[in-house]
Amino acid sequence: MVRYGILKRAAFALVTAFVAVTINFFLFRVLPGSAITNWAHVPNSSPQLQAALKREFGLDRSTTAQYFLYVKQLLHGNLGISFTNQQPVSHNLYIALKNTIPLVGISTLIALVLGLWTGILSARRRGTLIDHISTGTAVVLYALPTQWIGLLLLILLGGHLPSAGMSSPFEFTTPPFWQHMEDIAKHMILPGITLVLTIYGSMTLIIRSAMLEVLGEDFILTARAKGLTQRSIVRRHALRNAMLPIVTLIALSLGYIVAGAILVEIVFTWPGIGSALYNAVVTRDYPMMQGGFLVIAFSVIFFNFLAETLYFSLDPRISHEH
């Protein structure tokens, strides 16, 4: 039953990936303009030049022909060549992901730990002052726009911490490795705090809701009647049964780590995948946009599939349903 359920979900993930590939291709073709639209406003841009650019970018073919060529290249691991810098899209995405994953990954991990702690604490102390403060803070942070939090931190702390880019330029010499890492860590503080505050609110609220639902079940009342302590009930009984929505939340968070944080990276000019996709949209760089959105879609699909396979070990009832 477990093996059949995993295979069923794997097949569904593959179908979802194919649909994502198809939508990812046609989505950018229905938008107005093309990769050569900006060239029409360049002085001395003749129709012959625009026609040559269309041939170079493969835009003179039919949409169907472009689609089959895109799928064929994708099956060979080729995401195409960027219109902007004539570099392979996979190389551009690799460089961007190297900058994004440490920032968003560390921030998500910190937000998860804080959200798990405050969510469980609020559920245990429901209706108390601690619960009201924790829940109110989470609601406010969840409602505030990400870019507003980032701009506020720039105003408050921009004079004390680096507020732009990923590292400071060194004019004459290459800095030692640890000095370079320290410089990157300082530049990561402001965007990292912005991401932690943004993610923390939703995590606290979802974890609190999941814990409250479980704490109201009959088996929790039975555990209390047996004389178990509140800490033991939460750790041994409630938390395990509340793990399904928490695992889903973690999986979605891990999937979106690859997506980066476009608004945060733009505010702090962090050279990650969010900034790369924003620049690709501005310049109508179709291969870069398609490659970036495809990597994001595949990461979300993969981590969702991973979460669903974990459900079988967390809740044996799921295997009997399938």
- Express each pLDDT in 306-318 by its tens digit: 877 776 666 555 5
Query: Which helix (H) or strand (E) element contains residue 122?
Result: helix 89-124
- Radius of gyration of the chain from its Cα atoms, rounded to whole angstroms: 24
Let me know the angle formed at the C-alpha of 242 by 223 and 11, rounded to the nearest 5 degrees.
140
- Express each pLDDT in 138-193 by its tens digit: 999 888 888 888 888 888 887 788 777 777 776 556 677 777 788 888 888 888 89
pTM comes to 0.74
C-alpha separations of 45 from 38, 49, 74 in Å: 10, 6, 33
Taking residues 90-110, report their average pLDDT: 87
- Express each pLDDT in 204-226 by its tens digit: 888 888 888 887 777 777 877 87
Query: Which helix (H) or strand (E) element contains residue 249?
Result: helix 243-259
Alpha-helical regions (H) of 125-217: 129-143, 146-157, 177-215
How far is 248 from 153, CA to CA, in rounded Å? 30
* CATH fold of 2-321: MetI-like fold (1.10.3720)
What mean pLDDT is reported for the chain?
78
Domain residue extents for the chain = 2-321
Query: Which helix (H) or strand (E) element contains residue 26?
Result: helix 2-29
- Using DSSP, state whether 45 is helix, strand or coil: coil
Amino acid at site 111: A
Q: Is the dihedral angle over the CA atoms 170, 160, 109, 266 positive or is it negative?
A: negative
Q: Tell me the percentage of the chain whose pLDDT exceeds 70.
A: 80
How far is 232 from 237, CA to CA, in rounded Å? 8
DSSP secondary-structure letter at 176? P
Whether 92 contacts 276, CB under 8 Å: yes
